[in-house]
Amino acid sequence: MIPHPATQQPLPDETFTLTPDASIGSTDSAVRTIAERLAAQLRRSTGFGLPVRTGAGTITLSTDGADSLGTEGYELRADSSGVTITGATAEGVFRGVTTLRQLLPAQIEAAGVQDGPWEIAGTTISDAPRYGYRGVMLDVTRHFFTVDQVKRFIELVSRYKINRLHLHLTDDQGWRIQVDSWPRLTEYGGSLQVGGGAGGAYTKADFAEIVRYAGEHYITVVPEIDTPGHTNAALASYPELTADGVAPELYTGTKVGFSSLASGKERTYEFLADVFREVAEQTSGDLVHLGGDEAHVTPHEDYLTFVPKAAQLVVDQGKRVMGWHEIADAPLPAGTIVQYWGTEDEKAQALAVKAVEQGATLVLSPANRAYLDMKYDEDTPLGLQWAGLVSVEQSYDWNPATLIPGVPATAIDGVEAPLWTETLDDLAKVEYMVFPRLPGIAELGWSPESALDWKRYRDRLAGQGPRWEALGVNYHRSAEIDWA
């Protein structure tokens, strides 16, 4: 099972078997839709009727109990008489259902009816996460991904108890979210992508569907509007945002660090006020990510005045600020989350310390560990390697609590695995880079430190292979894992 639960005990002599007469019960309306979606999934591969009823069933979902386990915690018991999943909230029950699916045989994930038997060795589990922020990032600007592709991505990552989807929505190569007050951002700024092919952008209805679907999987969307660098698509659409008033060409290459909003112009902040307002309106979560990375052509003094002004515009919308670790050089509003993407470099580490000194908390995305766009090894046909090669072991075998010298464990909100898509133009390629590394990052975010052990994790990871086969996931059959 991945992530490994906080505590699990076997119930010797007990076996649960899902049989054709089984039902799914929900004790209250809060978990009814979770029960209905579970039933729909199990019907496909079992062929059973699996009626959903109010009250107890063969599998019972309940929010009556487990109060001490927090919003995401749950208790699960599987014995000869049935399965019960209890959380203090519907979210906790949902996390428990992801565990149930992994307890069932891999063929449960097949699209068509399979033979079974559908057995679970008797067990009790009491589970709750180590960290509250367990994210994945998808870059939809270097290459655009459709709503349906993002939904499949959400469904796959939700199985590992990921609870944040950071969408990198704007960059030099494309602006991908509708802003009605600045329509050329998507009309023109979203028209291309890396390599020069057609890009795309989400309408407000599209984005609402992504937010809704993520919410159904208890995942909160964190929208990123990257500023003041990584803004060529915006500058090409609205030359008034550039320092010299001249629009650059649209850009379809993969260089970074060459563009900047005009940080000295009032128009820039009017623009950002509009953008953050419309983006905040489209988000259900409490975070808006303002980027802040690699602003190499923004004079540093200007950057230091830009960041607090942009951050205030996010706060004005009632949202908390998130940003890449460079923003920590500037004063930050209360409640800011700083996303660390350094490797072992002292400059990045110093910024992380500076972030914490001013009261910010950290989400850890160390590029040499958590970057899903880094090649696994020299032979990986996709991806980049500026942060080194990131094998499955390298991505798993580190401790968030002690990663950055001088940062106390209490300052860590969690972990996030970013996927940049310069080299990834379809979902099969995305899946190849995400699986099997993402489950390891998810486990670092969820499981207690005592459960983390590379050798034992390897064996558990091997067990995910047949699930991905059943789901048609294009995972990388890394030689580090004994998939047989």
Place of tokens 């350094």: 342
> What letter does residue 247 receive in the DSSP assignment?
P
**C-beta of 256: minimal distance to ligand TNX in Å?**
5
Burial (Cβ within 10 Å: 0-12, 13-18, ≥19) of residue 13: exposed
**C-beta of 272: minimal distance to ligand TNX in Å?**
19
Q: Which is nearer to ligand TNX, 258 or 483 (CB)?
A: 258
CB of 312 closer than 8 Å to CB of 333: yes
Q: Could you give the CA distance from residue 448 to residue 450 in angstroms, rounded to a whole number?
A: 5
> What letter does residue 412 receive in the DSSP assignment?
E
Q: Which of 155, 270, 294, 393 is catalytic?
A: 294
Q: Could you give the CA distance from residue 374 to residue 369 in angstroms, rounded to a whole number?
A: 9
CB within 8 Å of 120: residues ≥ 6 apart: 15, 16, 17, 78, 83, 103, 104
Rg for the chain, CA atoms, rounded: 23
Q: Which is nearer to ligand TNX, 34 or 327 (CB)?
A: 327
164 strand-pairing partners: 135, 220
Alpha helices in 128-284 (DSSP H): 147-158, 184-187, 204-216, 232-237, 266-281
**C-beta of 20: minimal distance to ligand TNX in Å?**
50
Interface with ligand TNX (CB under 6 A), residue total 10
**C-beta of 420: minimal distance to ligand TNX in Å?**
3
Q: Which is nearer to ligand TNX, 4 or 164 (CB)?
A: 164
DSSP string for 353-396: HHHHHTT-EEEE--HHHH-TTB-SSTT-SSSB-TT----HHHHH
State the greatest distance between any 2 C-alpha atoms of the chain, in Å, as a whole number. Answer: 76
Pull the structure tokens for residue 190.
């979203």
CB within 8 Å of 246: residues ≥ 6 apart: 239
Q: Could you give the CA distance from residue 162 to residue 136 in angstroms, rounded to a whole number?
A: 7
Q: Which is nearer to ligand TNX, 91 or 171 (CB)?
A: 171
Q: Which is nearer to ligand TNX, 384 or 462 (CB)?
A: 384
Q: Which is nearer to ligand TNX, 110 or 150 (CB)?
A: 150
Q: Could you give the CA distance from residue 217 to residue 17 in angstroms, rounded to a whole number?
A: 26
Question: How far, rounded to the nearest angstrom, does the alpha carbon of residue 272 sit from its chain's CA centroid?
Answer: 25
Site for ligand TNX in 399-458 (CB under 6 A): 420, 422
Considering only residues 72, 109, 224, 293, which one is a binding residue for ligand TNX as defined by CB under 6 A? Answer: 293
Binding mask 315-354 toward ligand TNX (x if CB under 6 A, else -) reads ---------x----------------x-------------
Q: Which is nearer to ligand TNX, 139 or 431 (CB)?
A: 139
Pull the structure tokens for residue 3.
């992530």
CB within 8 Å of 297: residues ≥ 6 apart: 229, 257, 258, 259, 260
Q: Is 294 a catalytic residue?
A: yes
**C-beta of 422: minimal distance to ligand TNX in Å?**
6
Pull the structure tokens for residue 261.
């909003």
**C-beta of 150: minimal distance to ligand TNX in Å?**
18
**C-beta of 351: minimal distance to ligand TNX in Å?**
12
Q: Which is nearer to ligand TNX, 118 or 175 (CB)?
A: 175
> 316: number of CA atoms within 13 Å, CB side?
16
Q: Which of 230, 225, 294, 306 is nearest to 262 (CA)?
A: 306
Site for ligand TNX in 363-402 (CB under 6 A): 371, 373, 384
Considering only residues 28, 294, 329, 469, which one is a binding residue for ligand TNX as defined by CB under 6 A? Answer: 294
Considering only residues 256, 315, 389, 462, which one is a binding residue for ligand TNX as defined by CB under 6 A? Answer: 256
Q: Which is nearer to ligand TNX, 273 or 355 (CB)?
A: 355
Alpha helices in 5-146 (DSSP H): 32-46, 90-103
CB within 8 Å of 468: residues ≥ 6 apart: 435, 475
**Does position 208 bind ligand TNX by CB under 6 A?**
no
Residues assigned a catalytic role: 294
Q: Where does this chain bind ligand TNX (CB under 6 A)?
A: 256, 293-294, 324, 341, 371, 373, 384, 420, 422
